[in-house]
Amino acid sequence: MSLLVVGLSHRSAPVSVLERASLAAETQAKLLQDALAAEPATEAAVLATCNRIELYADVDKFHAGVAELSTLLAQHSGVGLDELTPYLYVHYEDRAVHHLFSVACGLDSMVVGEGQILGQIKDALARGQELHTAGRLLNDLFQQALRVGKRAHSETGIDRAGQSLVSFGLQQLAAGADPGLWARGKRALVIGAGSMSSLAAATLARTGIAEIAVANRTRSRADRLVDILQQGDDTTVRARAIEMSAVGDELTRADVVVSCTGATGLVLTADALAAALGVRLDAPAETPTVTVTPAPADVEQHAAWVENGSAASAPVTPPRRVVVPAQSTGPVRLALLDLAMPRDIDGAAHRIDGVRLVDIESLADASADAPMAADVDRVRTIVADEVAAFGAAQRAAHVAPTVVALRTMAAGVVAGEIARLDGRLPDLDEKQRAEITQTVRRVVDKLLHAPTVRVKQLASEPGGAGYADALRELFDLDPQTVAAVSRADLNDPNRGRS
């Protein structure tokens, strides 16, 4: 079996495609179930965030795996395969491990070094465990990714290489001013009470915002977030919960709005925003374009690249021009931060006089030019070391069931010979029989010790997976016995706990 990941992210696809391809929680569950129902995947996990959708699987056929996972992503995202394919990337084996570890460390994030991805990886693992789609390989992989991410944050200054998406967004809203001075005395409206909205509310409170109103479809969750904000020792923010039906009225009072919900449609339309401000929605203006380089245009190209050992990333295709709306000029009366995917706030809000809108797309453009800390190189070294260690451990684990099966077979041979000896020499007393049994076992153990230790060492090296096959062939081991050992290891309730 081999690890394969097929996905798309802010690095390979425009926000408009990511937005359409976003997966609700129930859709993710169905995707995982369908991945296991279809060959050739035996395990599956999905990592879906506001700027990436990745399907991980343990497959026994590479080309069939790429085709199947790509098709499943298209089916469940609702974006046609022909349209989705140019933005997909494929990573295989060690490159797939390297990719997830880099993601866990924040190296592949829109804002380098952000730590929110660790919680999202943990959620992806928990979902796979709950649905029983994550087996031994993906449990080990995601558990190790969490450890690597925590190690990177504790041993380096990667946190200084970038802020959280929320903090970075607030910096963009402040437009070069000190966020603390910019936020002082302002009133904020936070729409949503999930993890990202809660982080946004806490960040606003620490930044020095004076008042926060929280609106959420489920009022109890808004009340709970307000309680958390008011219990904070490091803020003096005034917080209150409101009904979603009161959002329109609250817009007339707010200076800052942060929205991150799971809604599939717009939460704030441009017309509603214009009405709240009592201004007219301006006619569309001519908008500039920027160059974006997408991923390769053909899944087969991915397969060829990966099979030829150069799967670090997708091959380059001609650049594409996309439209980026310009912001309105003049004093900012209402600052909008949209962290949702798909978006909560109408992109046409940029045409409203006095409104400044920062969304995932504009954050991606701004973060592309963000300075990289020297610690990033240290994190890359950590990732490379951890990938090598994980590969060695997996290869060693691959041979372990064969070694156990070999020793089980040897024990059976010893037991059979001792039983035959009992039949031929029935007059042996217990002491004599025990001594003979122990002697035979020592001989077998000594004969097996060197080859089993050596095969574990060789199996941990690159290309060492074949040694387990050789051991099974040389000793004519029953494949079902080896498989039974593997299943017993997989069903160990203590496995994968950290």
Instruction: For residue 367, name the pLDDT band (cuts at 50, 70, 90).
Output: low
Measured CA to CA, the distance from residue 336 to residue 113 in angstroms comes to 24
Residue 405 has pLDDT above 90, yes or no: no
Q: Quote the CA–CA distance of 96 and 37 in Å, as a whole number.
A: 22
Residue 160, pLDDT score: 65
Identify the band that residue 387 occupies on the pLDDT scale cut at 50, 70 and 90: very high
Q: What is the mean pLDDT of residues 280-291?
A: 50
Catalytic residue status for 50: yes
pLDDT at 389 over 70: yes
In this structure, the number of other CB atoms found within 10 A of the CB of residue 482 comes to 21
pLDDT tens-digit series, residues 206-243: 888 999 999 999 999 999 999 988 886 667 889 999 99
The 8 Å CB, 24+ separation contacts for 420-425 are none
Q: Which one of 50, 241, 341, 358 is the catalytic residue?
A: 50
Average pLDDT over residues 130-159: 93
> Among 38-47, 52-61, 306-315, whose mean pLDDT is lowest?
306-315
Place of tokens 């080309």: 63
Token pair in block for residue 378: 């240290």
Rounded to an integer, the average pLDDT of 394-417 is 81
CA-wise closest residue to 225 among 204, 238, 207, 241? 241
Give residue 303's pLDDT: 45
Q: Are 213 and 250 in contact (CB under 8 A)?
A: yes
The yes-or-no verdict on residue 318 having pLDDT over 50 is no
Q: What DSSP element (H or E) covers 469?
A: helix 466-474
Contact between residue 98 and residue 130 where contact means Cβ atoms under 8 Å apart:
no
Query: What does the DSSP 8-state code read for residue 466?
Result: H
**Residue whose structure tokens are 């020095």:** 208
Chain CA centroid to CA 137, Å? 15
